[in-house]
Amino acid sequence: MIKDLSIKKLYYSISEVSKITEVEQYVLRYWETEFEQLQPQKNRAGNRIYTNKDIKLILHIKNLLREKKYTIEGAKKILDNYSPDNSPQQEVLFPIEGPSDSSENKKEKPSLKKDLEEVKSILELFISKL
């Protein structure tokens, strides 16, 4: 079972988020322009400060774009139904999609197991960084 993501910090810098999510800083800044849900606050100095909800969203976007191979437009459509209050497993592993054929699900099981193992390793890395 995946450990609870207990919070040790309220805010993270872009460099910390980049290390935690393994997404380059310039990509994080670009995603802000593409995904309206990703709007980190800025501190008095104008530096981005990310919350844990922002990090969960970034991991979800990363999964959609890099693992599920969605286009940015396709990921935007999925994110229209995104809720940051869902559990991290649901956000990262179970994007909201249309109903699918049961035979299609049977074909995807080996891929799903691989995806689950990869997400588990990402979450373990994330927990180790906290």
| Domains of the chain, each with CATH number or no CATH | 14-129 (1.10.1660)
Cα–Cα dist 100/98, whole Å? 6
Non-local CB neighbours of 109 within 8 Å, separated by 6+ positions = none
Q: What is the pLDDT of residues 54-89, one digit of tens each?
A: 999 999 999 999 999 999 999 999 998 877 665 344
Q: What is the pLDDT of residues 18-63, one digit of tens each?
A: 999 999 999 999 999 999 999 999 999 999 999 999 999 999 999 9
In this prediction the pTM is 0.60
Q: How many CB atoms lie within 10 A of CB 15?
A: 12
